[in-house]
């Protein structure tokens, strides 16, 4: 069979609400990093993102790691992560810093905050055989043999833990936050289906937080409200911009416009504010209206890191019963009962 080469779409997972049971599943942590396929040839190493883009220039230490591996050729599926300075958690913020245009900056970060690779599937063995048609149970066995043979001397090449015990998976799910992004469940009898959401599901913990509306943006080429800008107070009483919510119906937007325009008043945010230097900035980042800190909303989110909600949040309801000053960053503090080291070496 011909060798696998990039671009090669990774197998994807379908989002579901509960960890599936009933047997025939293997459970793994869903790591808080960048999905990555590693293609090792006799003289080359290529890293590919989930979207098919090359990642090698952003993670030279991972390229070097796989060049040092004694295995002559293989294809691994896994996750690039950056361990946090506390040694217990992962830093998605440090990971995002790597997507930088300057090679000198990338090299500096590679030395100061080196990334690690957590392997969870083997698509091509070290003798060049494609394994994608095999059931996952056999690929996992091959991966464990591969890691035992080649990864012992490489502290930043890790094997993702796995279990068939749903009670263990549930205990991992309880640690979602500082280390994990959720749980992945894989059918033991499933082949590796490139580019498909087949044979694999993911479960994320959805949380809620009460936030102050510190400002808003109009929609593109519109005078309707496009998004509400969310804030949380720190211990010093400063209101920091932490994200946005825009999941409104058309009818709701009409009432929203009158509600927020009546409260337009600077500064809106007294701590970090929209429009400052940020990797999330866009050309519209400075086009926002500040509000007096009067409105409180409850939103649902899946992850908070680097001082922000990772993605847009879902608006749930107004909270007129909640004082704005009660909306603090302590709501989104991420604590974990288990460390990265404890998970991968359990």
Question: Residue 154 has what DSSP assignment?
Answer: -
Instruction: Tell me which DSSP letter residue 33 carries.
Output: S
How many angstroms separate the CA atoms of 70 and 18, rounded? 40
Distance CA 72, CA 303 (A): 38
In three-state secondary structure terms, 240 is strand
Alpha-carbon distance 19 to 200, whole Å? 11
Tokens read off for 76:
């691994």
Q: Are strands 45-49 and 34-40 parallel, antiparallel or unpaired?
A: antiparallel
Say if CB 206 and CB 300 are below 8 A apart: yes
Q: Is the Cβ–Cβ distance between 213 and 295 less than 8 Å?
A: yes
- Nearest alpha carbon to residue 332 among 212, 178, 122: 178
C-alpha–C-alpha distance, residues 208 and 230, integer Å:
13
* Integer CA distances (angstroms), 265 to 176, 255, 258, 260, 284, in order: 38, 19, 14, 10, 20
Q: What is 55-112 written as a DSSP string?
A: -GGG-HHHHHHHHHSS-SSEEEEEEEE-B-TTSSSB-HHHHHHT--S-HHHHHHHHHH
For 170, the enclosing helix (H) or strand (E) is helix 166-173
Stated length of the chain? 346
Quick check: 185 and 175 in contact, CB under 8 A?
no
Whether 259 is catalytic is no
Give the catalytic positions in this structure.
Answer: 30
């Amino acid at each position: 069979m011909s060798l696998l080469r990039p671009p090669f779409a990774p197998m994807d997972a379908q989002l579901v609400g509960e960890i599936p049971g009933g047997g025939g599943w293997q459970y793994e942590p869903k790591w808080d990093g960048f999905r990555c396929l590693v293609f090792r040839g006799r003289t080359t190493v290529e890293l590919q993102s989930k979207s098919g883009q090359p990642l090698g220039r952003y993670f030279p230490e991972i390229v070097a790691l796989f060049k040092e591996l004694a295995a002559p050729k293989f294809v691994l599926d896994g996750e690039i992560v950056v361990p946090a300075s506390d040694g217990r958690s992962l830093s998605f913020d440090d990971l995002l810093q790597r997507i930088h245009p300057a090679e000198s900056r990338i090299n500096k970060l590679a030395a100061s905050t080196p990334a690690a690779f957590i392997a969870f599937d083997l698509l091509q063995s070290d003798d060049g055989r494609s394994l994608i048609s095999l059931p996952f149970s056999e690929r996992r066995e091959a991966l464990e043999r591969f890691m035992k043979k080649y990864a012992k001397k490489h502290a930043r090449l890790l094997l993702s833990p796995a279990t068939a015990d749903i009670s263990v998976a549930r205990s991992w799910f309880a640690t979602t936050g500082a280390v994990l992004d959720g749980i992945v469940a894989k059918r033991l009898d499933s082949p590796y289906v490139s580019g498909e959401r087949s044979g694999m599901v993911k479960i994320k913990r959805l949380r809620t937080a009460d936030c102050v509306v510190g400002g808003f943006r109009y929609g593109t080429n519109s005078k309707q409200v496009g998004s509400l800008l969310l804030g949380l107070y720190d211990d010093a009483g400063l209101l920091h911009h932490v994200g946005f919510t825009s999941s409104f119906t058309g009818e709701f937007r009409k009432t929203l416009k009158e509600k927020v325009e009546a409260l337009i008043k600077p500064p809106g945010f007294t701590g970090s504010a929209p429009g400052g230097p940020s990797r999330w900035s866009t050309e519209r980042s400075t086009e926002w209206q500040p509000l007096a800190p009067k409105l409180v909303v409850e939103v649902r989110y899946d992850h908070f890191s680097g001082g922000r909600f990772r993605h847009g949040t879902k608006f749930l309801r107004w909270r007129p019963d909640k004082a704005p000053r009660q909306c603090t960053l302590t709501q989104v503090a991420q604590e974990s009962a288990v460390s990265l080291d404890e998970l991968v070496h359990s």
